Amino acid sequence: MFSQTRINNLMRLLRIFLLHFQYLLSHPSRSFVFIYTYTFLSLLYLAFIRGVFLQNGGDLGGWTLSSVSSYYFLIIVAPALLMTHPEHPVLRDDIENGELSGRLLKPFSYYWQRFFHELPYRLFQGLIATIIFIVLSVLFNNYIEFRLSVLQVMLIVIMLPLAYMLSFTFKMILAITGLWTTDIRGARELVEILIIIFAGFIVPVNLLPGILENLAYFLPFAYMIYFPVVAVQGQLSVNALMSVISVQILWLSILYLLFRKVWKKGLMRFTDLGH
Amino acid sequence: MNKYFLVGKNLVSEIFTYRLNFVMWRVRMILSLLTIYFLWSALIPEGRELFGYTNSSILTYIILVHLTYSFVVASRSYAVGEDIIQGNLSNFLLKPFNYFTYLFSKDVGDKFMNISLTVIELSILFVILKPPIFIQTDLLLLLLTALSILSGIGIMFFIYVLLGSIGFWSQEVWAPRFIFFTIILNFFTGFLFPLDILPKPIFDFIQFLPFSYLLYFPVKIYLGQMAIDQILMGTSISLFWVVVFHLLLKKVWTKGLQIYGAYGR
Amino acid sequence: MIIKVDHLTKYYKIHQKEPGFMGSLRSLVNRKYYDARAVEDVSFTIDEGELVGFIGPNGAGKTTTLKCLSGLLYPTSGNVEVLGFNPFERKHDFLKKISLVMGQKNQLWWDLPAMDSFLLNKEIYEVSDSSYKKTIGELIDLLDVKDIVNVQVRKLSLGQRMKCELIAALIHEPKVLFLDEPTIGLDVVMQQNLRDFVKEYNKKFDATIILTSHYMRDVEQLCKRIIMIDHGKVLYDGNLSEIVKKYATHKELRIVFQKPIEKRELARLGKITEMNGTRVVISVERTKSNHVAAEILKKYDIEDFNIEEAGIEEIIRDVFSNKNK
């Protein structure tokens, strides 16, 4: 298991990761724009929801003013860490600017090339967002009570990378559709809106009206953001955590197989038409 | 004038070329409407009242805002930024026509498409959801609504082109546009919610910004929910912004063209 | 034989759209395609260490052939074998041994110094530390870029960037190097630098190099063997010297007279292709060239005199246009 070649390979991947991290650090301002925007947005949603709560007597659907505030603070961290955006470099650099050819000829899977490109951004932005989260919690005097058992923590530790890979694989499929038509604005905007609704950005998923709530449990988006957030808040029992993880694994398998199919088709098209 | 008409027509052709993309874009618009509609329905069920709105009045508002959106906001004029960065602007500068008139014609083409489709989609939704419809009969109010929509179109056009003009100075054109679409459009124009539910001091402040005149203001006039003195004040502020943006754009473009390097990748 | 191409054919499916609005509506329902024949029944073999040039006008099928050889395009029919592999499978072992450099496309990170992109390729191609040190040292030397490898790529000039792109493409010492229009967009000095480099690289690293170009100078200086392609078909496959011998019907006499001579007088001797004061270029039939040369030397006072083959460019152009008749 810990053979020399395995270790060498891991070291190599680590060095590749670090080189990509260097690349991110050459233009850090972009990350900051995203984070500040999401922070502001989340706070606006929170202000609005707060108004609703107060008119309703301080309680709604199992949420208190305090827990819903933590939710919106965590909704700043969750996308920074878990919502991937590989579609931007894929569409802009690889497909539009023609860098795809070069990448195809590297002895390194395209999927993983893009993975290593994206990961540093998530870790970097996740770190900054966490700092913002701590600051907000202190400012508003609104703390999460971490009443999690060891088992719960372990399950959450499994859930987070699954959520990440779910988001990444899904977005890669979306990105690859750019091989068929260079303008996928429609698809992207549609997905954006689906994510905003069903991942729990506007309101926690369990507060969505009936049909939408059920749909949310069926689609993969809630498993990318919403469930990790409420899990960290301690709202999921061990059983619930295990259910969520099973659905994540199920969706991940489906999406990964779908990706391979779409990628193969996309490559045939790319190699058919040339560029 | 013929060439501008052709531009609008070509835009429609362009859109049809990307069929699937086009369908998804329409689905997205419908989804956005339905979601906001359902969320508000859930927040204010029948018989309840919240922030001064009932179920039917908020739904009427949401639907009218979506219709107005297709008149005022739907546009791709912000793509000016890309034209500048990628050097395509050079092509336009060298052609014997006014770049802004060209942009605006494209806009009109876009809007025409949007309005036609929105009307079709809304009709279908009316039949399915049967929301309360309100038909304004007062001619003066209708006229004032039309005027405010035109003013809103002007403001929106200038905002988009100004946002795009950032491309003269920075590669990161996407940042202000991103901020505009995620925050300002949702919260300051009346798209997600009617602005008068906000606490009075905030509401008063927002009225001096140009954004409320894009969606909230026209809809409120149409609904007859605005006193005549408010309409007058709002119209003046709205026109004031149109003039200010126009002058600002002129200045920005003069400066921008001076430093435009006509680069390309 | 490390490259074997057998009856390679490649068609592209191009969507045909009628112009205008009605055309767009119609294409919504019914899409029409036609076949663009990029490469038709092309066959050739290449041995290790050869430096081969593909020449042909734009759209001849040169780039398409190269893309088929590197695995980027799937042949419509026919067989391609490079280093014993089927390129299209793009096996990692295959990819580690080849490199494709296309003029305008970049792979370097824009905001970082080129050195960082070199390091990334080192890891991706699994180049050992010792090989890397040696190779990078030699390449930086050969291309004389020591001062710029630690500068942000964004700040480099086109020529400097191209040199760095080239190094990035060669970190893993590919056995087969495909160069697609490598000198396009470069100034004359850079073009020459690049040609010198390619020659050196071929010698030093014993790499098989295939380059495409529509600049005769590239091919003239670098390739002994050329493959002429037009409209997807091979017109000629052989040594450059052969083609010159076979098709060159004229020689050029480049003369610098001491005094300007009247045009009419010289026109008797042959076709005057250039006349600039005392500098004259006369095109004379091969068989007569020595005779005419002797005559001129006897009759006039000469400052400088040269007999050259007719520009290869002209020869090739003639071959292409003749074959198309």
Convert the pLDDT of each residue in B167-177 to its tens digit: 888 877 788 88
User: What token pair was written down for B200?
Assistant: 């009075």
Look at chain A and report how many structural domains it folds into.
1
Q: Which of A102, A93, A15, A17 is nearest to C169 (CA)?
A: A102
Helix (H), strand (E), coil (C) string for chain B: CHHHHHHHHHHHHHHHHCHHHHHHHHHHHHHHHHHHHHHHHHHCCCCCEECCEEHHHHHHHHHHHHHHHHHHCCCCHHHHHHHHHCCCHHHHHCCCCCHHHHHHHHHHHHHHHHHHHHHHHHHHHHHHHCCCCCCCCCHHHHHHHHHHHHHHHHHHHHHHHHHHHHHHCCCCCHHHHHHHHHHHHHHHCCCCCCHHHCCHHHHHHHHCCCHHHCCHHHHHHHCCCCCHHHHHHHHHHHHHHHHHHHHHHHHHHHHHHHHCCCCCC
B-chain residue closest to A198, CA distance: B35
What ipTM goes with this model?
A: 0.79
Q: How confident is the model at residue B3 (pLDDT cuts 50, 70, 90)?
A: low
User: What token pair was written down for A34?
Assistant: 């995203």
Mutate one of B13, B26, B263 to test the C interface: name it (highest C CB count within 10 A).
Answer: B13
**Coil, helix or strand at residue C113:** strand
Please list every residue in chain A whose beta carbon sits closer than 8 Å to the beta carbon of residue B179. 33, 37
Summarize the confidence of residues A193-221 as an average pLDDT: 90
At residue A263, the pLDDT reads 94
User: What token pair was written down for B259?
Assistant: 């430093």
Taking residue C260's Cβ as centre, other Cβ atoms within 10 Å add up to 12
At residue C254, the pLDDT reads 86
**Which superfamily, per CATH, for C47-76+84-244?**
P-loop containing nucleotide triphosphate hydrolases (3.40.50.300)
User: What token pair was written down for B154?
Assistant: 């002007």
- In A140-181, where does DSSP find H-type helix? 150-176
Domains C47-76+84-244 and C249-309 in one fold: no
B-chain residue closest to A210, CA distance: B42
Q: How confident is the model at residue B264 (pLDDT cuts 50, 70, 90)?
A: very low
Q: How confident is the model at residue A26 (pLDDT cuts 50, 70, 90)?
A: confident
Asked if residues C197 and C7 have their Cβ atoms less than 8 Å apart, the reply is no
Q: Is residue B56 part of a domain?
A: yes
Please list every residue in chain B whose beta carbon sits closer than 8 Å to the beta carbon of residue C20. 13
pLDDT at residue B132 greater than cutoff 60: yes
- Residues across chain A: 275
Asked if residues A237 and C39 have their Cβ atoms less than 8 Å apart, the reply is no
Q: Is residue B220 part of a domain?
A: yes
- Close Cβ partners of C7 (under 8 Å, ≥ 6 residues apart): C41, C42, C43, C77, C78, C79
Pairwise CA distance, residues B144 & B231, whole Å:
8
For the purposes of burial, counting CB atoms within 10 Å of the CB of B41, is it exposed (0-12), middle (13-18) or buried (19 or more)? middle
Q: How confident is the model at residue A226 (pLDDT cuts 50, 70, 90)?
A: very high
pLDDT in tens, B204-220: 999 999 999 999 999 99
Q: Which residue range is the domain that position B243 belongs to?
A: 2-259
At residue A1, the pLDDT reads 64
Pairwise CA distance, residues A159 & A245, whole Å:
6
Asked if residues B214 and B189 have their Cβ atoms less than 8 Å apart, the reply is yes
In chain C the beta strands, taken as DSSP E runs, fall at: 3-16, 32-46, 51-55, 77-82, 98-102, 176-180, 208-213, 225-230, 233-239, 250-257, 271-276, 279-285, 302-309
Q: How confident is the model at residue A275 (pLDDT cuts 50, 70, 90)?
A: low
Pairwise CA distance, residues B233 & B204, whole Å:
12
A96 touches chain B (CB under 8 A): no
- Backbone dihedral angles phi then psi of residue C145, each to the nearest 5 degrees: -120, 20
Nearest CA distance, A162 vs chain C (angstrom): 26
Look at chain B and report how many structural domains it folds into.
1
User: For every one of its 325 residues, what pLDDT tens digit does chain C have, with 9 covering 90 and above?
Assistant: 899 999 998 888 777 766 766 666 666 556 667 778 888 899 999 999 999 999 887 778 888 899 899 988 888 899 999 999 999 888 999 999 999 998 766 788 888 899 999 999 999 999 999 999 999 999 998 888 999 999 988 888 888 888 899 999 999 999 999 998 888 777 788 888 888 999 989 988 889 999 998 777 788 888 889 998 888 888 889 888 887 777 677 788 888 888 888 888 888 888 887 888 888 888 888 788 888 888 888 888 888 888 877 666 667 777 777 765 4
Q: Which of A22, A104, A268 sits opposite C90 (nearest CB)?
A: A104
Interface of C with A in 81-140 (CB under 8 A): 88, 90, 92-93, 95-96, 98-100, 102, 104-107, 109, 111-112, 116, 119-120, 123-126
**Portion of chain B with pLDDT greater than 70, in percent:** 89
Taking residue B17's Cβ as centre, other Cβ atoms within 10 Å add up to 17
At residue B134, the pLDDT reads 77
| Residue A37: C-alpha distances to residues B167, B202, B249 (Å) | 20, 20, 25
Q: How confident is the model at residue B16 (pLDDT cuts 50, 70, 90)?
A: low
Mutate one of C31, C90, C99, C128 to test the A interface: name it (highest A CB count within 10 A).
Answer: C90
Please list every residue in chain C whose beta carbon sits closer than 8 Å to the beta carbon of residue B9. 21
At residue B261, the pLDDT reads 64
CA atoms in the 13 A half-sphere facing the CB of C159: 12
A183 touches chain B (CB under 8 A): yes
- Close Cβ partners of C275 (under 8 Å, ≥ 6 residues apart): C263, C281
pLDDT in tens, B73-127: 887 777 787 778 777 777 777 766 678 888 888 888 878 877 888 888 888 878 8
Beta bridge partners of C37: C11
- Close Cβ partners of B78 (under 8 Å, ≥ 6 residues apart): B160, B161, B163, B164, B177
Q: Is residue B265 part of a domain?
A: no
Q: Which residue range is the domain that position A129 belongs to?
A: 4-273
3-state helix, strand, coil in chain C (%, to 5): 40, 30, 30
Between residues B71 and B251, which one has the greater pLDDT? B251
At residue C20, the pLDDT reads 66
Name the residue with tokens 């029948």: B46
Asked if residues C87 and C80 have their Cβ atoms less than 8 Å apart, the reply is yes
User: What token pair was written down for B88?
Assistant: 């395509």
Interface chains of chain A (3 or more CB pairs under 8 Å): B, C
B123-B127-B129 Cα angle (round to 5): 110
Cβ-defined contact of C119 to A274 (cutoff 8 Å): no
B54 touches chain A (CB under 8 A): no
Please list every residue in chain A whose beta carbon sits closer than 8 Å to the beta carbon of residue C70. 105
Q: Is residue B22 part of a domain?
A: yes
Q: Is residue B143 part of a domain?
A: yes
Mean model confidence pLDDT for chain A: 89
At residue B262, the pLDDT reads 56
Summarize the confidence of residues A181-204 as an average pLDDT: 83
CATH number, domain C249-309: 3.30.70
Q: How confident is the model at residue B265 (pLDDT cuts 50, 70, 90)?
A: very low
> Which of A25-29, B191-195, C269-273 shows the highest mean pLDDT?
B191-195
At residue A264, the pLDDT reads 92
Pairwise CA distance, residues B150 & B152, whole Å:
5
A-chain residue closest to B44, CA distance: A52
Q: What is the DSSP letter of C258?
A: S
Query: B52-73: buried (b, 16+ CB within 10 Å) or exposed (e) per residue?
Result: ebbbebbbbbbbbbbbbbbbbb
pLDDT in tens, C146-192: 999 999 888 888 888 888 999 999 999 999 999 988 887 777 888 88
Mean model confidence pLDDT for chain C: 85
Asked whether the CA dihedral B200, B204, B209, B211 is positive or negative, the reply is: positive
A-chain residue closest to C96, CA distance: A107
Asked if residues B40 and A201 have their Cβ atoms less than 8 Å apart, the reply is no
Asked if residues C186 and C148 have their Cβ atoms less than 8 Å apart, the reply is no
Q: Kindly list the domain boundaries of chain C, sorted by start residue.
A: 47-76+84-244, 249-309
